[in-house]
Structure 1
């Protein structure tokens, strides 16, 4: 059973590391980088140059999975072919598509051209270099930062940047950089309840971050963004650096006449995470439109991607042994938001669908614990 696993993000790597040498199962993991990136910690790399990658090869020891560094150009599930950017074409018996997402700029004029993303290590490096450069004595130009999107990524990024700016300002005797968090919706962090959100918002304001909710970015230029307020007023915010974290969409890389796609271009899957009408193709992570027990889309988070990957690895071994597949039953263990340093807010799941709200240092420990669990699961 020749199996291709495309992508070594949370979902793809969880699939590969779950596998064990199994008679009849031949697996190849393909990724454009020789390392796995902890995307949920890219904000730390952007502000503090924190190491957030792991080499892939050591993680595959004992799995029987081979690795090849290559970029996927497109996938044709009707022809059962994967075309690589170097021109090679690979075929498969079973396919796991875990190629993640790309930034959704929502066709806002100038945004894709002038905004930095936070999707990979090079983006974090670019932001880190900027925040250090503006604190050099010979820097000329606007020093302020505008971050669009006040979800998890945007909030975690602005708090880390504010903390870094505070340190640099103190060390180098320069005034602090102004940081603007711009959100089109009525509130930041919609995944949290009101009490936790209020604590997060207070922390941001204590850092001096300008929170602009109900402000929709309508265009971007090299040195500014234009926003529209809820009452229709336009405002121009000058900026030396624009960062967009306001949305994602599935990679438009898989073609098939009978593929079904949903919101954000995500590919509809069955209860075993196989693309509908294509039982030999598993689609997991950000690209798959998996549904929970209430029939609602599963969030595109690292914890759910990891769950899907581990199940898919298990099901690939079951297929090789001729055993029935296990259905996907998602569970959300909790959600934590880092707010810089040892501060975080969030909640963890308790029995009988209860939630325990946690703030401060303990929440920071719980967030780190979830990352340690992930690390342990791929070793």
Structure 2
């Protein structure tokens, strides 16, 4: 019997870690990932300013798992009727149960010129390209970096670029412009959190423009409904779509995270409505919590496949989203909300670095967790 986990992001790693302990020893557990490495996505912006940080936020999947077999391949399609995963090279893999954890890709919404000209921020190569382009701006004596989209990724990217310019003594020569179509930064989050994030962006010198809709991009300017913004660097973090293997769509799933009696979809690849009828935001913390429920449900599915209960579907656990709080970096600062309390400065940085290090350690990246903590505390102390 074979169980496949498609994708080695947050959801895939946490789910597989639990399945290693929960599934019978004779079940073939396979993790399929396009490069065989787990990226700590919420810290990717750090690699723009500190390229050496890349070594601390990417972990080979083979170092994380004890039992699961890792197969490096790009998933082209998932045929749920025949229970087969098709790979881009023409090969494939049959399965008895599947967990689709393929994450999401950047959505460009068909805006003319944006996909061709903007750099997304989904992979280490993207961070390296943003850094290279920004270094060209610094070398030229100044210019403008435009970040489209003021969700958490856009906020962190804009803050990082502003801090980078300041470190290089170019804060007065480089403009960092953050564009958001809605009326607030971090628009999906509580008002007190939004206000604190905006204040941190202002402190870093980011030119925040909300209520501004991007319409298209040329080689020289981002054209918006409020006028053109000339740029030298253009980063796009304006939204997400489903993975190509799912037709570019995020799959709607039930509160038990299933789409059929053999398949769960977890993390950003899914549009989850939880047990209380609430839409679950796409985030790392949601993916991790969903994965814990999904692991128990996959265990039940496997048991049912082996010993069907007279045609009755196994009773599966339902997921309810309950966030303990939110965290975001803004340059050398951070904002954290725990319950109703919002705090900033060293305390927020400590919370954020502690959460990241704890996650890395739990995922098998102890050396990388130490590196993350070292980086955070050196920044905080100005060393």
- 1:344 correspondence with 2:338: no
Q: 2:246 aligns with which of 225, 243, 254?
A: 254
Q: 1:320 to 1:362 in 2, by over 3 A?
A: same
Equivalenced residues, count: 350
Query: Which residue is 1:186 aligned to?
Result: 183
Deviation at 1:189, TM superposition (A): 1.3
Deviations 1:168-214 (A, max 9, x none): 126xxx95311110111111112343333233222222322111111
Alignment partner of 1:364 out of 328, 340, 349: 349
Residue 116 of structure 2 is matched in structure 1 by: 113
Measure, in 1, the Cα distance between the counterparts of 2:98 and 2:122: 24
Runs of 4+ with >6 A deviation: none
Q: Tell me which protein shows more helix as a share of its residues.
A: 2
Distance 1:243 1:293, change over 3 A: same
Structure 1 equivalent of residue 173 of structure 2:
176
**1:104-123 superposed Cα distances (whole Å, 9 cap, x missing partner):** 11111110111100011110
Q: Which residue of 2 aligns with 1:328?
A: 319
Is the counterpart of residue 272 in structure 1 residue 256 in structure 2?
yes
Q: Secondary structure at the match of 1:362?
A: helix
- Report how far residue 359 of structure 1 moved: 2.0
Task: Tell whether the 8 Å contact from 2:134 to 2:233 is kept in structure 1 after alignment.
Answer: no
SS of 2:105's equivalent in the other structure is strand
Deviation at 1:360, TM superposition (A): 1.9
Q: Which of these residues, 238, 245, 250, is aligned with residue 230 of structure 2?
A: 238
Q: Secondary structure at the match of 1:344?
A: strand
TM-score, length-scaled by structure 2: 0.86
Q: Report how far residue 313 of structure 1 moved.
A: 2.5
The alpha-carbon distance between structure 1 residues 86 and 252, as it changes in their structure 2 partners (threshold 3 A), is closer
1:347 Cα shift?
A: 1.1
1:245-283 per-residue CA deviation (whole Å, 9 max, x = no partner) reads 11001124237xxxxxxxx832122232111xx210110
**TM-score, length-scaled by structure 1:** 0.87
Q: Displacement of 1:34 after TM fit?
A: 2.3
Q: CA deviation at 1:67?
A: 0.3
Q: Which residue of 1 aligns with 2:43?
A: 41
Q: What is the alpha-carbon distance in structure 1 between the residues aligned to residue 181 and residue 165 of structure 2?
A: 25
Match of 1:153 in 2: 153
Q: Provide the C-alpha distance between the structure 2 equivalents of 1:119 and 1:195, rounded to a whole number of angstroms.
A: 28
Tell me if the contact between 2:8 and 2:36 (Cα under 8 Å) persists in the aligned partners.
no
Q: Which residue of 2 aligns with 1:296?
A: 278
TM-fit CA distance, 1:324: 4.9
Distance apart, 1:240 and its partner CA: 0.9
| Rounded Cα–Cα distance in structure 2 between residues aligned with 1:330 and 1:175 | 43
Q: Which blocks of at least 5 consecutive residues in structure 2 are unaligned?
A: 305-313, 365-383
SS class of match (2:169): helix
- 8 Å CA contact 1:48–1:164 kept in 2: the answer is no
The two structures, once aligned, show a CA RMSD in angstroms of 2.0
Structure 2 CA distance, aligned partners of 1:218 and 1:289?
26
Counterpart of 1:86? 89
Q: Contact 1:77–1:254 (CA<8 Å) still a contact in 2?
A: no
Tell whether the 8 Å contact from 2:196 to 2:342 is kept in structure 1 after alignment: no
The CA distance in 2 between the partners of 1:302 and 1:195, in whole Å, is 21
What do the CA deviations read for 1:226-248 (whole angstroms, capped 9, x no partner)? 1113xxxxx11111111111100
State the SS of the aligned residue for 1:178.
strand
